Structure formats: C-alpha cells, structure tokens
Chains A and B, each alone.
Chain A
Amino acid sequence: MTPAQALLIALVLCLAGAAVTAVVAANRRLAGWLTFLVTTIASMFALFAAARSLIDGGTAPETFLRLPALGFALTLHVDGLTAVFIGLIASIALPATLFSIRYMDLYPDYGVRRYYSWLLVFIAAMYGLVSTTDMMWFFFIFWQLMTLPGFVMIRFEHRNAANRRAALKFLVMMQIACAVTMLGAGLLAAGTPTVGAGLRFDFETVSANLPALLEGHPGRVALAFALFLVGFGIKLGMWPFGQVWLPDAHPAAPSPMSALLSGVMLKTGVYGIMRYFLWLVPAEATGAYPMTTWGALLAGLGTVTLLTGTLQALRQEQTKRLLAFHSIGQVGYILLGIGACLAVLGLNDAALAPVATVAFMGALLHTVHHGTFKSLLFLNSGSMLLAAGTQDLNRLGGLLKWMPVTGITVLVASFSISGVPGFNGFLSKWTIYTGAIQGVPAGWWLPVCGVLAILTSAVTLASFIKFFGAGFLGRASETVTQAAAGRKRLEKDWTLLAPQLLLAATCVVFGLAPAVAFGLATRALNASREGLGETLAAAVRTAEGLPGMQAVLGGGAHLVPLAVLALLALLGLGGAMLARAGGSSRRTDSPWLTGYAQAGEANRFTAHGYYAEFKRWFRWIGGAPRSGGAGSPNLKEPDHP
C-alpha cells in the first residue's frame, strides 16, 4: 500500500464514518465511541502513510480521479512536508475524539448528530487539504469541507446569539480566504502551457511555469503571492485577520473542537504558506523571486502577530478566550521562522543556507509543538469547564486540590507554551531564535524580531502563570468549593484524563529529546525535495553528523536538555535533603491576613488583578476582555464588618 492510498483510505473511512454516525446519533455514547473507533482506524492509516513517506524518503503523487475536461483530478501527494501535517492531524484527532465522548454530556439539550458527523468530515477534509496537489478545484472542495463543519460546530450551542455571530464571522472570513487563495492560483495558472499530466492548476504545472512567469510578469506573481499570504494568513490567524474571527470562534466551539481548530486547523494555513512560498518556487527561479522581501514581510507580520496576539491574551479573563489569543501569538512565531528562512535564503549564500534550514525547522517544529500543547490546553480548559461550570478565571481558584492530574498537565502545557527549558515549546522557540539571530546578515531587523519574540515569550509566561495560578493555585473560590461540595475529586473518568496525559507526555518527550524532533524535521525535509525544499534539505546534510542536530550551525548553537534537567533534578534533591537536615516539624495552617481580616470571596486575588500596571500600559493594543472584568457579578463590593 502506498502512502497516498493509505491516506485516501483514511479520508474515505472518515467520510463513511460520518454517515454511519449520523444514523446512530440518537444514542449519544454509541455515536461517541463509534467516532472514536473510526478516528482510531483512520489515524492508523494516516500515520502509516506519514511514516512510510518519511522512511522511504518521499513518494510520487498519485492520481485517483480524473476529469480532464475541467482540468480536474484528485491527486494526493504525501511528501515529507505533508507527512508531518498528516501526522499532526492524526495524533491530535485521536485524543480529541476520545475526550469528546464524556465531554458532550455538558450539552444535554443539544443533539450530538451535528457534532460527531461533522467532526469526522472536518478531519477528512484536513487530510485532503494538506495532501492535494490541485490548487483550484480540490483545494476548493477540501477547503469547503473543512469550513462548513467548522461553522456548524462553532455554532453548536446555537441558542446563544454570541455563538451564532462567531460562527458567521468564521464562515465569512474563511470564504474570503478561499476566494482570495483561488484567485491567486488563477493568476499563476492563467495563460500558461500545461505540462506532465496536463492539469493546469497542479503544483507540478504551476511550479514549472513559475520561472518564465517571474521573468515576464513579476507583478502578477507578486500579486498572486500576496493573495496567498492574505488567504492563508486569514486561516492561520495572522494579524490583522486573526483578531477578527479567531478569539470569538475558539471559545464558542465545544472544547475538543477548539483543540482541533487551534491545534490543527490553523496549521493548514501554515502548510499553505510553507508549500506555496517555498515548495512551489523552483530552485532555478531564485534570482527573480524576491525572497528577501517576502521574508522581511513574513517576519515582520509574524512579529506583529506574536506581539499583538500575546499582549491581548494577557488581558483576557476567560480561559478559552485567553487560549485563542495565544493561538494568534504562537502562530506569529511560526511566521517569524518562515520569514527568517526566506530572508536568509534570499541571500543566495551557501554558507548561510544552514541558518535558513534551522529557521525553517523551528517553524515546522513549532507547528507540531503548538499543535500538541495548545490542544492539550483546550482539553484542559474543557475539563475545568466540566468540573467547575465556568470559563471565567475570576471565579476559579484552588482547583489543584480536586484536579491534580489535570493540574499537572496544565502546568506541563503552560511550561511548554511559555518555553521553559525541558519542554517542547522551548525547543522550537530556541530553534526559531537561533535562526532569526544568526540570520543577521539578511538585515539588522531579523535579530530585533528575534528579541521581540523572546520578550513576548516572557509575556506568554506571565499569561500562563495567571492561567495556572488563577485556576489551580491560590485559594479555592466560592464557585469551586460549591462544585466540589463533599467530593474528593472533580476529575471525571479516564476518557477525559488519558487524552490530556498523552498530550502532556508528548510535550515532555519532544522537549527532552531534541533528536526526535530534529530527526523528524530532517526526514521531512529529505522526503520533500521540490522547489526550495531541495535547498533546505541540502543544507541539512551539512549540519548532519552532529548528534541528533543538537549542535546546529557547526556547534555555534547547541542544547542538551536531558543533561540540564538531570542536573536540575540532582540539585533539587540536594536542596530537599538540606531542608530535611534540620529535622524540623511540619504543620498546616491558614494564610495570615494581618490578623484582623477573614479570607473570603471579597478579598480573594482574582485573575482581573494580575499585572494591572502592565496591562494599563498596553490598553491601546485592544482585545479588551469580553466579560468577567471589574463588573462581573462575582466581584461584589467587600462588606466591611
């Protein structure tokens, strides 16, 4: 079985499963388990396709369905780049569907037919979108198959007007993105001869015609690429488009769907940018392709995206809305990585090509890593919602006592997203910074972008200290104590915990063993050698031979997380032994509030109070918290005795 066949099977399985699920959806649990079963089998096929392609070093495109009259053919191509995205989709879909089974109990008044069936269609469409080589017709079909389920599931709680509005906004933005991207493809394909299989909108044809087009009509190509940037930019949440739809859409959808929206669906936009800006352009066209300009634009937009997204996230007080703004922020890092890669490639300097490869790997790895930790965070917030019944961080607090497992996975995900050494987010951010800072020959602005990204990472940390602190630490809020009344645990059953544990384990493993992540990225590059991918892949080989790419750029930058972590653990143990040495006794007491105040809801430190001075500085950045601010019902005026 070739990878393309396996992927097609996965795709068809998901679609068939959707039909069957629609029939049995009256039984909520059965529909849930069936969806999980179908997703599991489909994921196995998809993962097989991805692994096979990475091991074999890439495959040829395969055509399954032809309509030559329209220039229409279903051609699937599982090369290295596609394999990474397929792997991501398959491995996030699995925990998300398992999590759904119990989670959907949260909506007893809403039928689950609209949820499970559309979820499977959604997954199938994403498989198709990242593997089709058709820039027009099948792109359109898969894009729509992805957008419509998204729309349906964002308005899942359709009795709430805000959700309907969010869904409509999503639908409109995605249709604009679709039209714009297809217009770009049309511009590139118009009036050019066809090659190979004779398909006008196939990657192969467009790529072959691009050098001539770049010579003859550079303006038209520039316009087409600008349209691609806008189209995929809307999808992946780039500033200023992301702020329009993303923060409303993510919190509205059920949590497992939010996990898929943020962890996976945004990544199809990343895929588009990578595929069109790097793989579509043949290596011989580099002279006429203004790569440094595009790189500067992408890096600049990326930096603006990560700054605005993260600073706006810092102001949020609703769990899922906060995470949604962070999705914008994290996607900014990915864009910065791609931009740095293009800018350095534009120098056409063989000695600097490894820097471009490093920047690209950073972007690719951050795509994968963001997929894992962000979907984990959305599942976490789903668990919190299920346990305490609210998304409002102001009304949460002290959950760790009742939800230790969820709490630890939230901590892992928070550390990952804010780039604490030893977690996967640090690895990919480290790679992006390395690429941006070492890319200084491309321009002084590249290290400045890199430093802004490092600074933003501290803001991310602040935001997640608030997320974790306000949710799980501090003192238990009234809402939480009421929810927990008389119970020892608020965590429900294993179908909710297992997905979170699995994703948390992934974050740690990828963080501790850079060889795994870099090995994957290297294989991916080696298995997709069209266009500029060839240049990037060639540069990997010069950096190879160093153990697991731990030392990239000839040893100029390096990292051995395992050694650092072992040292940390050892010294921590030493400290613990020191603390025991005095033989002091230990007892528990309540916090000291200067002796005359009682701990209560009125003087509890809530999410709203965090970083007030800093938030005041950045009020102009927008993204005011939707609700739960100073006027939220739980923050009553303190009554003095």
Chain B
Amino acid sequence: MEVLILILRSFANVVVVLALAPLFEGLLRKVTARIQSRQGPPLLQPYYDLLKLLGKEDIESGESPWMQRFAVHLALATVLTVACLIPLGAPVPLAGAGDIILLVYLLTLAGICTLLAGLAAGSTFSLIGISREMITMIALEPLFAITLIIGAVNTGTFRLETVLDGSVYAGGGVPWSGLLMLAVMLLSFQAFVQRVPFDIAEAETEIMEGPLIEYSGPKLAVFKYAQMVRLVIYSSLFVALFIPWGSHLVFPIGWLLFWAKVLVLVLLVTLVAATHARYRIDQALRYYGGLVGVSFVALVLAGFGY
C-alpha cells in the first residue's frame, strides 16, 4: 500500500512537470516578445510545437545513430527522475531512493545526455557546443553542490526532504552562508536554466543550437521537452532551497503558493534573458570562477556554524 502511494505520488510529480513545462516555456516566450515590443506566439505554442515535431521526419546524421537515440531518451528520463526526487509543492515522493549527492549527480547526468547527443551527431558545430556545455557544467556543479552541502552541514543529514526545505538558513543566528549562496544562485540561475546571457552552449545565432544542430523530428521534440522540464526543475529546486516559506500549508494553498513562487522565478529569468546579450565562454568562465570562490567562502562559514 505504501509503495503504491509512493508510485502514485511520483507519477503525479512526473505528470505535473510534463503538463506545466510547455506552459512556462510559452509564458517565457510571450513575455520576452512583449518586452521586446513584439506580439509573440500564443501561450500554448510550445505544446503545438512538440506535437508537430513528433510527426516530422527524423534525420540521423551521426555515425552511431543508436547512441543518438539513447542520449535523447536518457535526457528526458533523467530530468523526470529528478522530478520524483524533489518537492513540487508536496513532500518528496522518492525520498527513500537517494540523497542529495544522488541529486547532484543526476542533474549532472542530465547534462551528460546533451553531451553524448552532441558527440554522437558528429557535426563540428555540435562539438563546439558540447565543449562549452561541459565547461559550464564544471563551473556550475560546485555551486549547486555547495548549496546542498551547506544545507547538509546545517541539518546534519543528507536526506532530501530535510535539505530541500530551506535548510541553507538552518545554521545558528544570521544564516550568512545561506544568504551568500542565495546571492550566488540568483546570479548564476540564468546559467543553470541555459538562458541568455549564458546560453553559450547553444548560441543559436553563432553555432546554431550547438549540440542540437543535427536533431530533428521526434528526437528534437523529446530534447526540447527535456529542456523545458529542466527550467521547471531548477526553478522548483531554487524555491525549495531558498524560498521555503508557506510550502507546508494545507494541500491546495501550499501547492498553489509553491507554483506561484516558481512562476515568479520564471518571470525573473525571462526578464533577465530578454534584456541581456550573450557572454562569450571565456567571459562567462571568469564570472563563474568568481561565484565558485564566493561559494567556497560560504561553505567555510557553514563549517563554522554560520
């Protein structure tokens, strides 16, 4: 019985994420257009796009097509697995299956799929893209890992349901480490969700979507879907870690409050994306380097109990 409830709650998380992700994407596109004084596509356009792509011809250009297929499906599977390991306005469904270190690595795995896909496609443009994507991953992974580990140090446990509940502020007194990480994550969030000014790996105007350049039809649909889900996942993680207040209210209120917070975060991402120009990879790397330095200071502060 317990297992059945767990499965149902995981399923609910997956369904909610899948249903809402294109909506957030549509919103993002619409708001971006309005900021740039355009009319913009209908709010539901991403749903139509996905459906249309599913029926389009699938052209495989790599020399190892089965690796292309594997990478694409693993990409979506990974982000959806993460959806079962984080709170989406309700308790974590699969808290018993892993802990925060698993979470860090699963998010890395989601990135690996993009890398494999780009590598398997074999275009020079996609390889430039994956080289940039990997550099970004090396720089960003510690930021996220340190945030979670500060939570773990504060609460003395690695459990998902404890750490993903505002644990960064759980140190004694003024939570300096938590506040520092809040600043760091706000400054790097655009990069986590791969939006301008840090969409360097895809850079449509420069290397033509990088890792995705050779993908079309259903594979592109699945990949795009995974990217939309990624936006929701990271926004939810941010809310769970840094804006936990009110998530424990009774079911519809807490749930709605949670998604309202996610919505605000997505709008913030849109605002930044629509008003900035893309950085070069070396500029971005310097920027990330500074943030990594600051987050290590935060970790040491957490070690001393601040």
Contacts and interface: CB of A to CB of B under 8 A. Distances in A.
A585 interface: yes
A378 to B, nearest CB: 22
Contacts of A567: 10, 81, 84, 94, 97
Interface in A435-459: 437-438, 440, 443-448, 450-451, 454-455, 458-459
B23 interface: no
B261 interface: no
A109 interface: no
B109 A420 contact: yes
A586 B303 contact: no
A398 B131 CA distance: 17
Contacts of A575: 72-73, 76-77, 222
A60 B53 CA distance: 69
Interface in A578-592: 578-592
Contact of A462 (B99, B134, B217, B285): B134
Interface stretch (A122-130, A224-232, A301-309, A606-614): A606-614
B109 A421 contact: yes
A121 B55 CA distance: 64
A368 interface: no
Contacts of A458: 108, 137-138, 141-142
B222 A559 contact: no
B142 A465 contact: no
Given A579-B221, A582-B218, A584-B54, A465 B115 contact: yes
B251 interface: no
Interface in B116-147: 116, 119-125, 127-128, 130-131, 134-135, 137-138, 141-142, 145-146
A580 B292 CA distance: 42
Interface string A471-500: 011111000000000000000000000000
A582 B293 CA distance: 48
A455 B124 contact: no
Contact of A444 (B105, B285, B304): B304
A617 B293 CA distance: 15
Contacts of B54: 578-579, 581-582, 584
B153 A437 contact: yes
A469 B129 CA distance: 13
A590 B99 contact: no
Nearest to B85: A564
A29 interface: no
B283 to A, nearest CB: 10
B62 interface: yes
Nearest to A590: B61
A26 interface: no
Interface string A399-412: 01100000100000
Nearest to A421: B105
A447 B214 contact: no
A578 B222 contact: yes
Interface string B1-21: 000000000100010000000
Contact of A563 (B97, B105, B159, B302): B97
B64 A400 contact: yes
Contacts of B57: 584-587
Contacts of B64: 398, 400-401, 407, 472-473
A594 to B, nearest CB: 8
A400 B62 CA distance: 11
B219 A473 contact: no
Interface stretch (A149-157, A183-191, A285-293, A550-558): A550-558
A47 interface: no
A572 B97 contact: no
Contacts of B59: 586-589
Contact of B97 (A556, A560, A589, A611): A560
B74 interface: yes
A32 interface: no
Interface residue SS majority, chain B: helix
Which interface class (under 10, 10 to 19, 20 to 34, 35 or more) fits A? Answer: 35 or more
A509 B134 CA distance: 28
B246 to A, nearest CB: 27
A469 B81 contact: no
Given A440-B153, A572-B73, A613-B281, A465 B112 contact: yes
Contacts of A448: 296, 299-300, 303
Nearest to B218: A579
Given A584-B56, A591-B61, A462 B138 contact: yes
Interface residues of B, number: 86
B74 A568 contact: yes
Given A444-B300, A605-B127, A592 B213 contact: yes
Interface string B269-306: 00000000000011001000100100010011011100
Contacts of A401: 63-64
B182 to A, nearest CB: 18
A434 interface: yes
Contacts of B299: 447-448, 451
Contacts of B112: 420, 461, 465
A45 interface: no
B2 to A, nearest CB: 14
Given A560-B97, A582-B218, A592-B61, A473 B135 contact: no
Given A578-B54, A613-B135, A454 B63 contact: no
Given A575-B73, A584-B218, A603-B124, A473 B67 contact: yes
B55 A584 contact: yes
A19 B120 CA distance: 49
A419 interface: yes
B36 interface: no
A583 B57 CA distance: 9
Given A559-B102, A591-B123, A617-B285, A447 B153 contact: yes
A102 interface: no
Contact of B138 (A419, A459, A475): A459
B61 A454 contact: no
A360 interface: no
A142 interface: no
A161 interface: no
Given A454-B145, A567-B84, A421 B63 contact: no
A70 interface: no
Interface string A244-282: 000000000000000000000000000000000000000
Contacts of B192: none
A444 B121 CA distance: 45
Given A473-B63, A569-B77, A590-B61, 20 more contacts: A400-B64, A444-B300, A444-B303, A454-B101, A462-B137, A465-B130, A556-B156, A558-B98, A571-B77, A573-B73, A575-B72, A575-B76, A578-B54, A579-B72, A579-B219, A582-B53, A582-B56, A593-B124, A605-B124, A613-B282
Interface of B: 10, 14, 51, 53-65, 67, 69, 72-74, 76-78, 80-81, 84, 94, 96-99, 101-102, 104-106, 108-109, 112, 115-116, 119-125, 127-128, 130-131, 134-135, 137-138, 141-142, 145-146, 149, 152-153, 156-159, 213-214, 217-219, 221-222, 281-282, 285, 289, 292, 296, 299-300, 302-304
Ranked nearest first, the 3 interchain pairs of A and B with the lowest CB-CB distance are: A444-B303, A582-B54, A605-B127
